[in-house]
A = this chain, B = another copy of it.
Amino acid sequence: MTTTPAPAGVLRTAYQKAVADYWNNEKDPVNLRLGDVDGLYHHHYGIGDYDPSVLEGPQETRDERIIAELHRLESAQADVLLDHLGPIAPGRRLLDAGCGRGGTSIMANARFGCQVDGISISQSQVDFAGGQAAKRGVDDKVRYHFANMLDTGFPTGAFQGIWNNESTMYVDLFELFAEHARQLAYGGRYVTITGCYNDVTGGRSKAVSRIDEHYTCNIHPRSAYFKAMAANGLVPINVVDLTAATIPYWELRAQSSLATGVEDPFLTAYREGSFHYLLIAADRV
């Protein structure tokens, strides 16, 4: 019944191998310690205002409070993403493209009760995420695969919903949406939350290039998302500018011991208007 994509030839280019290496070796506390809070390991940022009281109180538990609050904000982000999938029947199937350590897939299964396939080009992430699903006893429904989101091997029309939670900046959007369009059932829903640079302020700003360099990624202009969707039968139904909502997350993180240095370019880019944090929900036609 279940089709597992073939692992052969997953990493096609030197670039993909470099990205995979990065994530295979990544053990960033900002991802691990936040996940430790409740076992939902995310690889994306948060939205919503933080509780300023976490910055106060005893120094020895300050980090703990901040970590819990950052984690709350990143789970809130995943919830907003899942809200835009619309209702999903338990018998349908979902794809988490670029699943990281698997948190959003777990939340989706918990919400809808349906089968979720998460894919990553990092074998370490796949293994880690699989372990989490097993630990929670949902590995019959939530499966993680070592697969390339540009060529997954999944059957045509197999999914009722697909999302990319901050994972589109590693791939060409025309190739990505062609593959998503192929995999979605007619009328299926696609959702992405992504950082994109602002065509209106012009080319990639210095701050945006610093983010690209940090993650070895290729942040796209906002326009590229809509061009690539228009070319691949994905029709937007909701577009939400989450920029203002994500700034508090970065401000809190910058004040924590988990700051990685990438906080500054993010805050600069968002504030100068050269970068947006965007949610797009679209239907497959």
Which of A10-18, A60-68, A112-120, A244-252 participates in binding chain B?
Answer: A10-18
Stretch of A35-43, A92-100, A219-227, A255-263 that contacts chain B: A219-227
B216 contacts A235, C-beta separation under 8 Å: no
User: Nearest Cβ in chain B — how far from A51, in angstroms?
Assistant: 28
Give complex CA distance A241, B240 in Å.
Answer: 11
Number of identical monomers bound together in the oligomeric complex: 6
Tell which of B14, B216, B231 touches A201, judged by Cβ atoms closer than 8 Å: B14
Q: Are B241 and A18 in contact (CB under 8 A)?
A: no
CA distance A276 to B172 in the complex (A): 20
Query: Hey, what's the 0/1 contact readout for A211-241 against B, CB within 8 Å counting as 1?
Result: 0110011100011001101110101111111
Interface 9-residue window, one of A73-81, A127-135, A202-210: A202-210
CB pair A205–B237 under 8 Å, yes or no, is no
Query: Which A residues contact B (CB, under 8 angstroms)?
Result: 12-16, 18, 170-172, 186-187, 199-206, 209-210, 212-213, 216-218, 222-223, 226-227, 229-231, 233, 235-241, 272-274, 276, 278, 283-285
Among all A-B residue pairs, the 4 with the closest Cβ atoms: A15-B202, A13-B202, A209-B213, A239-B239
